[in-house]
Chains A and B, each alone.
Chain A
Amino acid sequence: MQARIQLVSILGAAVLLLTVLELVRRRRLTERYALLWLLSALVLLVLAIWSGALAKISHAMGVIYPPNALFFVGIGFILLLLLHFSSAVSRLSDQSETLAQRQALLEERLRRQEQLAVGTGSEQSDESQRLTGAPVD
Chain B
Amino acid sequence: MSPHSLYLAVIPAYNESATIAEVVERLRRHAPRFDALVIDDGSSDDTGPLAHAAGATVVKLPFNVGIGGAVQTGFVYAREHAYDFLAQVDGDGQHDSLELERLIATMDEEAVDMVCGSRFLTDDYRYPAPISRRTGIHIFAFLLSRIVGMRVSDPTSGFRLYNRRAIELFASYYPHDYPEVEAVLILHHHRLRMSEVPVRMYIRGGGTSSISTGKSAYYMIKVLLALFVGLGRRRGATDLAAGETLGVEQGI
Which residues on A are within 8 Å of B, measured CB to CB?
Answer: 91, 94-95, 97-98, 100-101, 103-105, 107-108, 135-137
Instruction: Say which residue of B58, B73, B176, B249 sits within 8 Å of A101 (CB atoms).
Output: B73
- In order of increasing CB-CB distance, the 4 nearest A-B pairs are A101-B73, A94-B252, A97-B69, A108-B59
- List chain B residues, Cβ under 8 A from A135: 80
For the complex formed, measure the closest distance between the CB of A84 and the CB atoms of chain B, giving whole angstroms.
Answer: 17
For the complex formed, measure the closest distance between the CB of B55 and the CB atoms of chain A, giving whole angstroms.
Answer: 14
Is the pair B80, A104 in contact by a Cβ cutoff of 8 Å?
no
- The 13 sampled A-B contact pairs (Cβ below 8 Å) are A98-B248, A98-B249, A98-B252, A100-B62, A100-B65, A101-B61, A101-B65, A101-B73, A104-B59, A104-B60, A107-B59, A108-B57, A136-B80
The CA-CA distance from A94 to B252 in the complex, in Å, is: 7
Is the pair B59, A105 in contact by a Cβ cutoff of 8 Å?
yes
Q: Which of A101, A107, A108, A135 has the most CB of B within 10 A?
A: A101
Chain B residue at minimum C-beta to C-beta distance from A90: B252
Other A-B pairs beyond A100-B63, A101-B73, A137-B80, 6, CB < 8 Å: A91-B252, A97-B176, A98-B249, A104-B39, A104-B62, A105-B59
Interface residues on B, range: 20 to 34
Known contacts: A108-B57, A108-B58, A137-B80. The answer to whether A101 contacts B63 by CB under 8 A is no
Which residues on B are within 8 Å of A, measured CB to CB?
Answer: 39, 57-63, 65, 69, 72-73, 76-77, 80-82, 176, 248-249, 252
Counted as pairs of residues, one from A and one from B, with CB atoms less than 8 Å apart, the total is 44
The CA-CA distance from A137 to B245 in the complex, in Å, is: 15
- List chain A residues, Cβ under 8 A from B252: 91, 94-95, 98
- List chain B residues, Cβ under 8 A from A100: 61-63, 65, 69
For the complex formed, measure the closest distance between the CB of B244 and the CB atoms of chain A, giving whole angstroms.
Answer: 15
Is the pair B73, A104 in contact by a Cβ cutoff of 8 Å?
yes
